[in-house]
Amino acid sequence: EIVMTQSPATLSLSPGERATLSCRASQSVSTNLAWYQQKPGLAPRLLIYGASIRATGIPARFSGSGSGTEFTLTISSLQSEDFAIYYCQQFNKWPMYTFGQGTKLEIK
Amino acid sequence: QVQLVESGGGVVQPGRSLRLSCAASGFTFRSYGLHWVRQSPGKGLEWVAVVSYDGDHKYYADSVKGRFTISRDDSKKTLYLQLNSLRVEDTAVYYCTRVVVPGVIWDAFDMWGQGTMVTVSS
């Protein structure tokens, strides 16, 4: 099983600041990596897939990078609606999709 | 409107069964691979099962293999998950999801339902 490890567990920032979230895979997943945003009581929303492709309707302030085992989600200038939990997911080694444990982005 | 809507959740005793449904609308249902993902209260996300666009391929997480069965009815545009021999640890919100690219199984999930809660408790 590929283990996805996200860091930090919690990130405290202020609106307007830049957020950098990390995701590490225990073995290479190429660019078969997605990022999701989840707000309380709601389903996750796809932000990034293929490690760096923004999903439909996702603002340009969200960007993804990386390949192999190291990935980054960057939010260039935080808006109030961006404070949520973020998950990475690998879909390289199937039939076992795995998700990271999440990074909670909270208002400082 | 493009959406997935789950139903069928509830409270059930350990060892009993439940069937979840996911009704799709607004897209060509028969063209997409579909998955179930669950989230235990206060926890992260766990992939559960997938069925290919043509229904020929089905795969399951080890934690549910032999107990859960995924199926689809393209005429009704509905995805199902039959949950048998339920355990306390199966308690979770169950989401149905659609992959980004038609015709593939393994891909990111660009559409999610609102989820349906399954509680397994004596």
Q: Which residues contact B50 (CB under 8 A, 6 or more apart)?
A: A95, B33, B34, B35, B36, B57, B58, B59, B70, B105, B106
Closest residue in chain B to residue A41, using alpha carbons only: B114
CB of B79 within 8 A of CB of B57?
A: no
Which residues of chain A does B45 touch, with a Cβ-Cβ cutoff of 8 Å?
36, 44, 87, 89, 99
> Tell me, what's the pLDDT at B106?
87
Q: With bands split at pLDDT 50, 70 and 90, how would you rate the model's confidence at A95?
A: confident
Q: What is the tens place of the pLDDT at every residue in B37-75? A: 999 988 889 999 999 999 999 999 999 999 999 999 999
Give the mean model confidence (pLDDT) for residues A78-84.
97
**Can you give the three-state secondary structure of A47-89, one letter per residue?**
EEECCCEECCCCCCCEEEEEECCEEEEEECCCCHHHCCEEEEE
Chain B residues interacting with chain A (CB cutoff of 8 angstroms): 35, 44-47, 50, 59-62, 95, 100, 105-110, 112-115
Residues in chain B: 122
B59, B108, B113 ranked by CB distance to A91: nearest = B108
Which residues of chain B does A45 touch, with a Cβ-Cβ cutoff of 8 Å?
112
Residue B15 in tokens? 């060892």
Report the gap between the CA of A68 and the closest CA in chain B (Å). 16
Residue A17 in tokens? 């600041």
B46, B95, B100 ranked by CB distance to A49: nearest = B100
> Tell me, what's the pLDDT at B21?
98
> Tell me, what's the pLDDT at B112?
98
> Tell me, what's the pLDDT at A106?
97
Is the pLDDT reported for residue A41 higher than 90?
yes
**DSSP bridge partners of B95:** B37
Q: What is the tens place of the pLDDT at every residue in B59-118? A: 999 999 999 999 999 999 999 999 999 999 999 999 999 999 999 888 999 999 999 999
> Tell me, what's the pLDDT at B37?
98
Give the mean model confidence (pLDDT) for residues A29-39.
97
Cα–Cα distance, A21 to A88 (Å, whole number): 10
